[in-house]
Structure 1
Amino acid sequence: MEETEQKIGMLGSGSWATAMIKMLGDNHEKKQVLWWIRKEEDLAYVKTYKHNPTYLSAVELRVDADHLFSDARTVIKQSDIVILNTPSAYLKDALKGVDAADFKGKLVVTAIKGIIPDENLIVGEYLSKIYQIPLANIIVIGGPCHAEEVSAEKLSYLTIAAKDTANAERVASVLRNRYINTILSTDVYGVEYGAVLKNIYALAGGICHGLGFGDNFMAVLVSNAIREMETCVMAIDPEANRDINASAYLGDLLVTAYSQFSRNRTFGHMIGKGYTVQSAQLEMNMVAEGYYASACIQNIIQRYNLEMPICNMVYQILYNKQPANVEVNTLASKLT
């Protein structure tokens, strides 16, 4: 029997979306890849030159010009598997004109490591609430995985989380290739919330580094952060089968907290050096998801009455404009 061709739709054209387009192109399973690119000038460039002019511009992409679109709804309706890969703050805008019927019967994958800011929901919860997508059809992609290393074909691992393991494997099968290994998980909420929290902790690490704290302090900060993460995800979903030391949690936290490619660490470093939030955002060409996540996680902390001093420190600095050196020194007295 001839293998059925799967249609994979990608929404987003930032560095992570571009890296995933490369993954899909380097996976030899029979499939058709459709790609929504928001900016018409970028779309035209990719059609002509097979490179993204704005992100990972040196990477050659295996894309068919006829499968590139400026209309997100067209991509969604034609796809069997839809991968959402925009910054969380821009997802609602990307899905304008899309309704629940367009997602019916499809696997919907979130590669977004953030919270919808004005909804205070992780992406999976937002999709379920607004588009009535069954939880079994929502798949979450976790790390540890930086786009820059994927583009360089350095061996990397993705965690694919879904309540239905068959659906997780179906998504994993179109992503894995000679430099991408996949790990399956059923901890949908833990993987998604972990991906949100690690950005806040990386931002905290960047603030501390910008203030002049060294590796010794950073090690203590990260070891406290993983325990704080466990406190949060256990409060949200205590019944899940998870090991907080697994790659999707500790591994993703480590790479985001320490890597030169971490935009959240870079953003935090700028704040520690004295940049305002606005000036740091203007200087960066990419979205630091930890900034938006910090405000949203405060609601989780209050809802469950949690002790999360690292998240609180970041929130006080970013949103209440408290002096970074004062807040970090206060936090330092609480770390163990």
Structure 2
Amino acid sequence: MARIVILGAGVMGSAMTLPAAHAGNSISLVGTHLDEEIVASVASTGHHPRLNVTLPAAVVAYPWTGFVDAMSDRPDLLVLGVSSAGVPWAIDRIAESVTSPVPILMVTKGLAARDDGIDILPHVVAREIQRRTALSMPVMAVGGPCIAGELAAQRDTSVMVAGHDADSIAAASRLLRAPFYHARASSDLAGVEICAAFKNFYTLAVGAPVGLLERDNKAPNGALMHNLASSLFSQSLQEMAILVEALGGKIATVRGLAGSGDLYVTCQAGRNGRMGRLLGCGLRYSVAKRDHMSSDTVEGAQLALDLGPTLERMMSRGKLPRDRLPLTAAIVEAICHDAPLVLSFDSFHRG
């Protein structure tokens, strides 16, 4: 029986216990300091209050203070399920806990700004752990359309497991093998991670027609704005492909599960689409966030705030083609500069 440690007891980290348990592993689910209520519930009854499911009997829940103990008998896989904001905290915990290399699989999504560009989180984690511990650890990532509640209900889910080492990818996929969890291997770690982060960003735009419809009302014949939403979806994929290629990924990844698949499922519901609706209604981002979503983490908007200045610098320096990224520029302008979201179709679909 293999051992898996999952750091982060939120919905996605906890949902990963379902395929992991089905594959016959023992699982230590370690919460962060924000997961104390969840950990207490799982430890006492097995019930996860946010997923509203009972986790498998193979799962043992620990508070974050138990992470060192969970890692003491070297696990076969460490799944990192904290938020992107929690990655530095997770690196601290890993660095103080490991004495030999442990494969890491990240379900955390996000990117990191650098002075001269953008970095993917698996590279940040691997580099920082090696700097602190002198250990070289394979850091992989999961991408693709995976709603945590559906995975927890054991609905069929197809994902990409991406990394630089084929053997590590194969081993991690075996540890998560289940009839309802279908993992495909990818060597395009950069492409998968860029798609995973930017799908939230572009959903802000794809969600805007819902707000535009509320503002302008239905047409006399009852027509909606599906044509507009579809056009924005297409433009999002086109610009995502430009970003992926410019940042070292493969365009083919955008056409698959990690790109079009994940963007599609993200556009169906969620916080990013709700913010897009508010922007479509004509609200400035600051007003929409303050008055309607003050307690929500809107991942796409946070990505814009984190990377917007870097994207603008890369465009001004010619590292990114501004004329081919009009929707990207419009979203950055709306979020970072609190301007109206302007959808200029004269600039779309130009190649």
TM-score over 0.5 (shorter chain): yes
Instruction: State the AA in 2 paired with 1:68.
Output: Y
For the pair shown, the structure with the greater C-alpha radius of gyration is 2
How many angstroms apart in 1 are the aligned matches of 2:327 and 2:63? 42
| 1:335 correspondence with 2:348 | yes
Q: Which amino acid aligns with 2:86?
A: Y
The reply on whether 1:217 has 2:228 as its aligned counterpart is yes
Q: How many residues align?
A: 319
For the Cα contact (< 8 Å) 1:162–1:188, is it kept in 2?
Answer: yes
* Partner of residue 171, structure 2: 170
Amino acid at match of 1:219: S
Q: Which amino acid aligns with 2:192?
A: V
- More displaced 10-residue stretch of structure 1: 243-252 or 59-68: 59-68
What SS class does the counterpart of residue 182 from structure 1 fall into? strand
Contact (CA 8 Å) 1:110, 1:138: kept in 2 or not? yes
TM-score, normalized by length of structure 1?
A: 0.85
Cα separation, partners in 2 of 1:103 and 1:279, compared to 1, 3 Å: farther
Q: 1:132 corresponds to which residue?
A: 130
Cα deviations by residue, 1:154-176 (Å, 9 ceiling, x for unpaired): 21101101111111111111223
Q: Which amino acid aligns with 1:62?
A: P
TM-score by length of 2: 0.82
Structure 2: distance between partners of 1:83 and 1:333: 45
1:100 and 1:227 mapped to 2: Cα distance?
42
Structure 2 residue aligned with 1:188: 189
Matched residue, 2:77: 81
Q: Percent identity?
A: 22
> Out of 271, 276, 300, which is 1:268 matched to?
276
Q: Is 1:32 matched with 2:2?
A: no
Shift of 1:7: 1.6
CA contact (8 A) 2:105 2:142 kept: yes
Q: Give 1:22 deviation, angstroms.
A: 2.3
Question: In the alignment, residue 278 of structure 1 is paired with which amino acid?
Answer: R
1:333 aligned counterpart, secondary structure = helix
**Equivalent in the alignment of 1:310:** 327
Q: Name the CA shift for 1:279/1:36 in 2 (closer, same or farther; >3 Å).
A: farther
Report which stretch shifted further, 146-155 or 189-198: 146-155
Gaps of 5+ in 2: 214-223
Deviation at 1:66, TM superposition (A): 4.8
Cα distance 1:49–1:318, how it changes in 2: closer, same or farther (>3 A)? same
Which runs of no fewer than 5 residues in structure 1 stay unpaired?
Answer: none
* Separation (CA, whole Å) in 2 of partners of 1:122 and 1:204: 23
**Secondary structure at 2:207's aligned position in 1?**
helix
Instruction: After TM superposition, give the deviation of residue 141 of structure 1 in Å.
Output: 0.2
SS of the equivalent of 1:184 reads strand
What amino acid is the match of 2:23?
A: H
Seen in structure 2, the aligned counterparts of structure 1 residues 150 and 65 have a Cα distance that, compared at 3 Å, is closer
In the TM superposition, 1:1-336 aligns within 5 A as: 5-25=1-21, 27-29=22-24, 31-38=25-32, 39-53=35-49, 55-56=50-51, 58-64=52-58, 66-71=60-65, 72-78=67-73, 79-99=75-95, 102=98, 104-116=100-112, 121-132=119-130, 137-212=138-213, 214-237=225-248, 240=250, 242-257=252-267, 259-260=268-269, 262-273=270-281, 274=283, 275-284=287-296, 287-298=297-308, 299-300=310-311, 302-303=313-314, 304-307=319-322, 308-324=325-341, 327-328=342-343, 331-336=344-349
C-alpha distance in 1 between matches for 2:180 and 2:238? 31
Q: Which moved more, 1:8-17 or 1:274-283?
A: 274-283
Q: Residues 315 and 9 (structure 1 numbering): CA distance in 2 closer, same or farther, change over 3 Å?
A: same
Partner Cα separation in structure 1 for residue 162 and residue 226 of structure 2:
32
Q: In the alignment, is the contact (CA less than 8 A) between 2:104 and 2:137 conserved in 1? A: no
Shift of 1:9: 1.1
State which drifts further: 110-119 or 165-174. Answer: 110-119
Deviation at 1:152, TM superposition (A): 2.6
Report the Cα offset of residue 64 of structure 1: 5.0
RMSD: 2.6
Q: After TM superposition, what 4+ stretches of structure 1 lie above 4 angstroms from structure 2?
A: 63-67, 116-120, 133-136
- From the superposition, tell whether residues 243 and 108 of structure 1 become closer, same or farther in structure 2 (CA, over 3 Å): closer
* 1:62-115 CA distance string (max 9 Å, x none): 145755232244444443311111210122234444427727411111111212
Asked whether the equivalents of residues 210 and 272 of structure 1 are also in contact (C-alpha less than 8 Å), the reply is: yes
Kindly indicate whether the alpha-carbon contact (under 8 Å) linking 2:164 and 2:187 is maintained by their aligned counterparts in 1: yes
